[in-house]
């Protein structure tokens, strides 16, 4: 029997307990021993809930109990999670977490600490909810040099964009509806401004390239400026707008960014809709692979956490090697990243078209039914810097979206 | 340093050597030690090839060298692979293989033998080429009870169906083209009759349900009877025809089958086209996940084999637990499996329509531009047995395709 403690009895924490109850038999079989929840740490009490007798309010009870071998940290946020997790590892306990803020900020340090203590710090649920992506990156794609990781990593924004696309609705009304349905939080900034995606692509990039990618260094744009007119243009192109977190290695440079981008049906992420997530990986020998599934939700996320618990239980006394050094990976300046740009200008006069042709050279005009008095086009591929230098000469630019085809 | 031997210097074998050469530095880093190819077993010589000095023709040299810790078996076919692999395991060597025939037939036995010898028998490349699916099933989806696995598991047939769909061409001409391009073998029976898919879904089902699923027990239909008219109907329905290997648990019954099926864009496998493979898994807590990538090809397959070598090297002396008992899983009779059926009848008279309505009750008529003098419809959901009982009363049935929506 292996004793575990769950820190935080919120959505994911209660999901972990539920998964262990529902699938206990098969989990224990796969684990080779019984998993027993000894403590649940929460500030609240849960009178009437069968887990009430396991509730403790003092973290020290958990960390000082040598019987507890595995800590499930599902509180979220950097503190006090970081302090609790670090102390747990120092006391020789493995930690399984769904906490992307913690992993993005302190992942490298906690992995190194785990190595010295011969325990494990596992975080499958921190990216892509239930989708197996951390373990595949760490253990399955070991023969490859990763060239690119691009993901739809946030279910809320993907739901909003899908809804806007399917119903032609505008951003604000879809956001309100998503909030009512519980798909978006009351304070949705972390999702819609791309911060959540940013932390997740930072974690994936760190694992892919084996060095610390700081999320603060990643250029991040959200979806708040996407309008129904943009969606109409996308449809006219047979394309779709997705909020993508992407990092790409070109020679010795790594570029990372979060932004809405246009993709076509030939891209494996095109058909990742609603609250689903998808993570596309390109390796230099495996080629293109993609992982798809529920990027959030109580049970899918708990499934990933419990799978980590099983792995931790099977590896008590052995550290599973994870290449993520605390040495910082200096990202290349985004100004050198190359794309095509979809540009909308509030002026469809012949003079403007001539001016655009003069400045940008060849462009591909895009028309969308129901959007008038605009000139919209896709440029040739150019760096962000060159684009900005050119675009400064054109006033009346309404918006740009980067193009992945 | 860990010494390995490669059995078979064909497409995959030479790919393994290439991947180890190209990505050697990062592979050795992830492995924690250098991987050295000591022998390559092949009947042929390769004068001029830098690997010539490693070529041996006698398997006994390999198996009797205690320095060789890991065997890469990429010869294909059950014999002599089985004899070589079994002897290697008995001599305390781990084995990594891409050989689906071997794994489908002897997987359970070789896993059990590996366990007793504290070595590993790994076979990521035997299903889905480079796509990580075996390790995720075995190590990531451990918190779930698997309810369904459905896969596009054969690149050749998926290429043919995609081509038929995109170009409106008939089966025979697309097959010929695929053979010319090297996407289909000269003797394509194993692919187009579904035998290859059958072995792969047998392996996945055995892992998902933890017991031996014999491929001989799986009802298998290929794609040779799919015509351009079927494709036209599929398009008219907004659907797509895919050769699927599927197994599904309903209460205590497991059904498995291989057959062409109709799927809609809402299914994650819908957009898996050309030579790509996709594997859809439904767990009782994780919900739906899908894995996508190159299902074949020299380097993608070699990538999966080398990832297994890295895993084997990291686990020397420790068996990685895999639940696949040699106890046979008795599949439920396919006659009880329930679907909707797409039925084409060479008679569009009112009498026939009345007869169909009388026999099948409510059906959904399907019309396709360019296909005349037929009556085509989709039935309500019913078991295979009930369908057959009803269909026997109607002559002139041209064909049926099972419907996944």
Q: pLDDT tens, A298-314?
A: 999 999 999 999 999 99
User: Roughly how many angstroms between the first and final C-alpha of chain A, as a whole number?
Assistant: 53
Is the CB of B290 less than 8 angstroms away from the CB of A292?
yes
Q: Are B148 and B247 in contact (CB under 8 A)?
A: yes
pLDDT at B301: 96
Q: Name the closest residue on chain A to residue B122, using Cα atoms.
A: A140
Half-sphere exposure of A83 (CA within 13 A, CB side): 4
Euclidean distance between CA atoms B224 and B232, whole angstroms? 16
With DSSP H G I counted as helix, E B as strand and the rest as coil, what are the percentages for chain B, rounded to 5?
40, 25, 35
pLDDT at A196: 97
Distance from CA of A118 to the nearest CA of B (A): 15
Claim to verify: residue A111 and residue A166 sit in the same structural domain: no
Percent of chain B exceeding pLDDT 70 equals: 100
Euclidean distance between CA atoms A106 and A87, whole angstroms? 13
Q: For position A248, which CATH number holds?
A: 3.30.360.10
Nearest to B140 among A23, A135, A288 (CB): A135
Claim to verify: residue A71 and residue A84 sit in the same structural domain: yes
Claim to verify: residue B347 and residue B320 sit in the same structural domain: no
Claim to verify: residue B205 and residue B322 sit in the same structural domain: no
Q: For position A354, which CATH number holds?
A: 3.30.70.1150
Q: Do the annotations mark residue A156 as ligand-binding?
A: no
Euclidean distance between CA atoms B145 and A19, whole angstroms? 10
Give me the catalytic one of A200, A232, A242, A249: A200
Q: For position B32, which CATH number holds?
A: 3.40.50.720
Position B36 in a domain = yes
Per DSSP, the three-state class of B286 is coil
Claim to verify: residue B187 and residue B317 sit in the same structural domain: no
Q: Which residues of chain B have a CB within 8 Å of the CB of A141?
A: 132, 303, 307
| Token pair listed for B322 | 């895999």
Is the CB of B142 less than 8 angstroms away from the CB of A306?
yes
pLDDT at A181: 87
Q: Name the closest residue on chain B to residue A320, using Cα atoms.
A: B314
Pick from A147, A285, A322 the residue to mutate for testing the B interface (most B CBs within 10 Å). Answer: A285
The dihedrals phi and psi of A146, each to the nearest 5 degrees, come to: -75, 130
Q: Are B313 and B33 in contact (CB under 8 A)?
A: yes
Is the CB of B321 less than 8 angstroms away from the CB of A32?
yes
Residue B369 CB: number of other CB atoms within 10 A?
Answer: 8
Among A300, A305, A267, residue whose Cα is nearest residue A71: A305
- Give me the residues of chain A with pLDDT under 70, please: none
Per DSSP, the three-state class of B44 is coil
Distance set, CA B222 to CA A112, A328, B198, B260 (Å):
51, 52, 10, 7
Nearest to A143 among B291, B297, B307 (CB): B307
pLDDT at A228: 94
The dihedrals phi and psi of A78, each to the nearest 5 degrees, come to: -75, -45
Per DSSP, the three-state class of A306 is helix
Distance from CA of A359 to the nearest CA of B (A): 38
Euclidean distance between CA atoms B13 and B16, whole angstroms? 5
Q: Do the annotations mark residue B100 as ligand-binding?
A: yes
- Give me the residues of chain B with pLDDT under 50, please: none
Euclidean distance between CA atoms B300 and A154, whole angstroms? 29
Distance from CA of B137 to the nearest CA of A (A): 9
Q: Which residues form the domain of A375?
A: 335-403
Position B194 in a domain = yes
Q: Which residues of chain A have a CB within 8 Å of the CB of B318?
A: 318
Q: Which residues of chain B have a CB within 8 Å of the CB of A144?
A: 23, 303
pLDDT at A182: 83
Position B48 in a domain = yes
Position B8 in a domain = yes
Position B95 in a domain = yes
Claim to verify: residue B283 and residue B343 sit in the same structural domain: no
Q: Are A154 and A297 in contact (CB under 8 A)?
A: no
Q: Which of B285, B312, B328 is the last residue of a domain?
A: B328
As annotated, the active-site residues of B are: 200
Claim to verify: residue A34 and residue A14 sit in the same structural domain: yes
Q: Helices in B193-297 by DSSP H: which ranges?
A: 195-209, 228-236
Residue that has been written with the tokens 């997705």 in this structure: A242
Claim to verify: residue B236 and residue B358 sit in the same structural domain: no
- For the CA atoms of B295, B298, B303, B305, the dihedral, rounded to the nearest 10 degrees, stands at 90
Distance set, CA B88 to CA B92, B98, B119 (Å):
7, 16, 10
The dihedrals phi and psi of B330, each to the nearest 5 degrees, come to: -80, 110
Claim to verify: residue A238 and residue A290 sit in the same structural domain: yes
Nearest to B143 among A265, A293, A303 (CB): A303
User: Roughly how many angstroms between the first and final C-alpha of chain B, as a whole number?
Assistant: 53
Claim to verify: residue A82 and residue A229 sit in the same structural domain: no
> Kind of pairing, strands B338-345 and B2-7?
unpaired
Nearest to B310 among A143, A268, A300 (CB): A143
Residue-wise pLDDT tens digits, B4-54: 999 999 999 999 999 999 999 999 999 999 999 999 999 999 999 999 999
Distance from CA of A81 to the nearest CA of B (A): 24
Claim to verify: residue B176 and residue B86 sit in the same structural domain: no
Q: Are B280 and A293 in contact (CB under 8 A)?
A: no
Position B140 in a domain = no
Claim to verify: residue B264 and residue B155 sit in the same structural domain: yes
| Token pair listed for B285 | 């807590």
Q: Do the annotations mark residue B361 as ligand-binding?
A: no
Is the CB of B291 less than 8 angstroms away from the CB of A289?
yes
- Count of structural domains, chain A: 3
* Catalytic residue status for A328: no
Euclidean distance between CA atoms B193 and B78, whole angstroms? 19
Residue-wise pLDDT tens digits, B237-252: 999 999 999 999 998 8
């Amino acid at each position: 029997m292996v004793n575990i403690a769950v820190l935080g009895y919120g959505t994911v924490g209660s999901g972990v307990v539920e998964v262990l109850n529902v699938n206990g038999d098969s989990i224990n079989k796969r684990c080779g021993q019984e998993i027993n929840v000894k403590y649940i740490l929460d500030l609240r009490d849960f009178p009437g809930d069968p887990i009430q007798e396991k509730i403790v309010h003092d973290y020290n009870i958990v960390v000082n109990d040598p019987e507890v071998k595995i800590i499930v940290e599902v509180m979220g946020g950097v503190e006090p999670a970081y302090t609790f997790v670090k102390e747990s590892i120092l006391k020789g306990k493995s930690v399984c977490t769904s906490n992307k803020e913690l992993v993005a900020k302190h992942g490298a340090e906690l992995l190194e600490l785990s190595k010295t203590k011969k325990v494990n710090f596992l975080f499958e649920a921190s990216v892509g909810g239930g989708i197996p992506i951390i373990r595949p990156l760490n253990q399955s794609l070991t023969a490859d040099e990763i060239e690119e990781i691009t993901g739809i990593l946030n279910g809320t924004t993907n739901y909003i964009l899908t809804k806007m696309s399917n119903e032609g609705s505008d951003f604000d009304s879809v956001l309100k509806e998503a909030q009512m349905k519980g798909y978006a939080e009351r304070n949705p900034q972390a999702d819609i401004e791309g911060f959540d995606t940013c932390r997740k692509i930072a974690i994936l990039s760190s694992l892919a390239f084996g060095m610390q990618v700081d999320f603060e260094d990643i250029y991040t744009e959200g979806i708040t400026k996407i309008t129904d007119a943009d969606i109409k243009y996308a449809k006219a192109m047979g394309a779709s707008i997705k909020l993508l977190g992407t990092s790409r290695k070109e020679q010795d440079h790594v570029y990372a960014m979060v932004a809405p981008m246009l993709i076509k049906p030939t891209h494996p992420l095109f058909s990742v809709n609603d609250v689903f997530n998808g993570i596309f990986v390109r390796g230099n020998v495996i080629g293109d692979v993609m992982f798809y599934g529920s990027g959030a939700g109580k049970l899918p996320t708990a499934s990933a956490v419990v799978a980590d618990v099983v792995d931790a239980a099977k590896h008590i006394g052995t550290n599973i090697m994870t290449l993520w050094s605390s040495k910082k990976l200096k990202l290349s300046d985004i100004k050198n990243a190359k794309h095509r740009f979809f540009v909308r200008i509030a002026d469809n006069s012949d003079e403007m078209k001539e001016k655009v042709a003069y400045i940008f050279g060849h462009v591909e005009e895009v028309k969308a039914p129901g959007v008038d008095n605009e000139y919209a086009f896709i440029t040739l591929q150019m760096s962000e810097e060159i684009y900005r230098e050119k675009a400064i000469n054109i006033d009346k630019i309404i918006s740009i979206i980067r193009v992945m085809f």
